Chains A and B, each alone.
Chain A
């Protein structure tokens, strides 16, 4: 492995996280529209309750993938985004529609909003699936809009992958929501989602098999790399496909025995394994005639990026742990009786203190003067710090004196 490979691994990890986490956000509304009447509203609410606290965080994985891609492999990014702009814009439209669903869902739900969200749930996985499919089929040559903007993604392989993505996200959503309902002891709901998960799981598996057939006829090199033993040297990739198949079957067993908590994780493993398998089979050429090593930014850039990622992960991982801990621990579930508000025994704010006021004004003025009279260097930045410090102090004092209620 070389330095230039590491960002690609991060991208794969990001895609996995986006697929297994945000995939479920997109799948959820599909279940609400396929049910009727009261049941539909119940499924919708269950979906909203489970996903609303996490969807924004889940969504950021997509940004993570894009950013790593354009920093580490700028040319790949430019090529993909210019040739595949249509599915990408469709994905954007879908993301906005989904956000409308979450925003509105917070206050009330109408049938129209549910349909909008469900439309997004078809559009986004499909569009992003066709992007991956276009890469699989080798339809995106390097260059500024060098590929055909229509046939690059409206072709059998991309369409198959797109449909597979829709099925997968609906399936994941059903599994997760079944597990959440079980945690909240809403057994009827758990059962409803469990049945749907089973059906969707079987369908997804069948679609995956059909996908292999399409690959065989339309993207033979990729098929060889991914599954057949006479293809390229890609042992690990084939193991991944196997793992995915086993995990997929395992999930179905877990669901049919109503072990939804376990099913949640095993289903995620099945998806993750197939993404890794794809990533490996897509080597060495990610775009026709272009390997990731050729497209990689300089070592210095990649090292800088990796430093940023490490720092970022040090903050991100504990934060995610906290968030999912609270969510999966049921801490955001509705409370029967809200606990008491803030402490009763408070003190009123002190009256405005002239000395402090004077101090704050003096600091701000001194800082402002330094800022105004220098063009660069320590005086300028010290002046800026003093000025902004004085400003913050001033705001606190002023606001404090304004809100005293006497």
Chain B
């Protein structure tokens, strides 16, 4: 092992090691690149997580009832699914490359700690890619019962794959399972403990899962809500709208509870991150929650609305609990307060709005056994999809920027992780040009899929737009 230490000297980051200082602007650019690529990948993978089970549910309804419109929906959705999957795969590939290109310090120091999870993730997505192909290309080629079975691994591997990635992120938030020696080398690595013995894994995973169902549910429902507003009321359209809506409307209230759990976990392990969520400067007993407003240089929140003791209650379920303030650590160790605070409030605000929308829908359904009649409900559903995507990204910004200045919380600072090669960002700029082409193509293809005529027997029942779905793209 001795020679290992000698050879790895260039990458050691701990005390007693002179790590090259990196130009701050340059670090900032690297961060923005990272943020942009995640922001591309994550909405797409929501479809990888949540869409397969919706498609398979539809197919199951078709098998069970023998009614053609269910099967027709499942078929059409499965084409959308594989298109978005393709985009998810390549954006994910970019992320893997990016980890090495932007953060070689991080990868070299800790690749062995969390690599195992990515290994399992790789296998999961492998199997997912295989079965998604089989599922989509074997309609009519194998018996319907077998066909629906080939969808099950797609659901399962979507879960395991993203669980592994989240395990890495949870570990970055709550690092354990290794130690750092005098020379700044990472030693005693216990990968299983690091990844799966981690208190952040389950709240983050559950929260991300529900987020995926909320995003996909509202986006898909919103697309059909357009046609609904134009007066089309056939069984095909109605089914394609209400099933995703049902999923999203139950997931949204559930998200409140899981979000509370996530916040408690942050309060326990990352007190400074929590203080940044709330812009709390002084350590306070019975801390108030401040809504809206702006955190100023003299460490106050201007124009905020205070609700006494709410923060202590939310963070510790005790209105008199003491909440640690930013003041307790040097300013160097603070994340950018306003970015974190605004994104946190955006997420919670949108989350609350979605719960109201869900309650509206559920209330009418359970009281009257019908769908809401006012056009405003459907307009709100159309807005809810993009809003959920905003909440999703805002949530990740909260988590990731809130972790700053650490890449591995309390262990490795982000400036120690970044690459020493300059110019990388220019490469990424080129890459994003290609990304734009990808996104445009995906939209165009989805429109084409949506325009394909429905099977004639269903089109006859639908009326309206001559058997054509007048929808835009998803995603």
Contacts and interface: CB of A to CB of B under 8 A. Distances in A.
B8 A295 contact: yes
A290 interface: yes
A79 interface: yes
Contacts of B430: 89, 93
B141 interface: yes
Nearest to A396: B57
A104 B65 contact: no
Contacts of B141: 326, 331-332, 335, 339
B119 A342 contact: no
A146 B10 contact: yes
B189 interface: yes
Contacts of B131: 319
B112 interface: yes
B64 A78 contact: no
Interface stretch (A33-41, A95-103, A213-221, A257-265): A95-103
A100 B254 CA distance: 37
Interface residues of B, number: 115
Interface stretch (A163-171, A190-198, A237-245, A343-351): A343-351
B115 to A, nearest CB: 2
Interface stretch (A178-186, A222-230, A273-281, A303-311): A303-311
A311 B264 CA distance: 34
B164 to A, nearest CB: 10
A289 B249 CA distance: 59
Interface stretch (B101-109, B286-294, B320-328, B398-406): B101-109
B92 to A, nearest CB: 8
Interface residues of A, number: 105
B242 A403 contact: yes
Secondary structure call for the A interface? helix
B434 A57 contact: no
Interface in A319-365: 319-320, 322-323, 326, 331-332, 335, 338-339, 341-349
Contacts of A149: 421, 423
A62 B89 CA distance: 12
B63 A343 contact: yes
Contacts of A83: 421
A89 B420 CA distance: 16
Interface of B: 1, 3-4, 7-8, 10-11, 20, 57, 61-68, 70-71, 79, 82-83, 85-87, 89-90, 92-94, 96-97, 99-101, 104-105, 107-113, 115-116, 118-123, 125-127, 129-134, 136-138, 140-142, 144, 153, 187, 189-192, 199, 202, 206, 235, 238-239, 242-243, 245-247, 249-251, 254, 257, 260-261, 264, 268, 317, 365, 419-421, 423-424, 427-428, 430-431, 434-435, 437-438, 441-442, 444-445, 448-449
Interface of A: 52-54, 56-57, 59-60, 62-64, 66-68, 70-72, 74-75, 77-83, 85-86, 88-89, 91-93, 95-97, 99-100, 102-104, 106-108, 116, 142-146, 149, 289-290, 294-298, 300-301, 304-305, 308-309, 311-313, 315-316, 319-320, 322-323, 326, 331-332, 335, 338-339, 341-349, 368, 371-373, 375-376, 381, 384, 387-388, 391, 394-395, 398-399, 402-403, 405
